Copies of this chain bind each other. A is one copy, B any other.
């Protein structure tokens, strides 16, 4: 049995516990969370979220990329979110990753250079601030003022706030 098949068996069970009254499509908290894809961060449990409460955008690093801006613009303009939480974390696989080296490696292997930078960084808090800056510079977001940023400590489960 593959891992996917085990996960799908769990999903069968989940459906049997799903509420009769479906959760709302418009996030009831008005919050959108941008977090790293890291397996250790269960965003719903971390923030005590029920289905229907917040948008959750995740990618490698929790970076505010163009694609995260796209998602946030849709979140704000069509589904009314007004607050943003950024979550990066300690012991990230992207920490110390050299973007140029990775791009060169991919180019050697595949014959083409990727159209994106990997997004490696050295300091998690500085990386949160860089994401906050990218967000504040985007003209496509209606709300950029209610923004908080954190580094999740994967050893303790605590969020350390970053001064933005």
Q: Taking beta carbons and an 8 Å cutoff, which residues of A are in contact with B?
A: 2-4, 6-8, 10-11, 13-15, 17-19, 22-32, 37-42, 44-60, 65-71, 73-75, 78-79, 83, 85, 91, 93-94, 97, 106, 110-112, 114-116, 118-119, 139-140, 146, 148, 154-159
Contacts and interface: CB of A to CB of B under 8 A. Distances in A.
Nearest to A119: B70
A116 B66 CA distance: 7
A83 B157 CA distance: 27
Contact of A4 (B60, B118, B148): B148
Work out how many copies of this chain go into the complex: 2
A56 B39 contact: yes
Given A8-B148, A14-B47, A59-B67, 4 more contacts: A23-B154, A32-B37, A60-B71, A114-B140
A39 B59 contact: no
Contacts of A73: 106, 114, 118
Top 8 A-B pairs ranked by shortest CB distance?
A: A18-B157, A10-B48, A67-B67, A110-B139, A60-B71, A3-B29, A7-B47, A27-B39
B31 A4 contact: yes
Contact of A157 (B14, B41, B50): B14
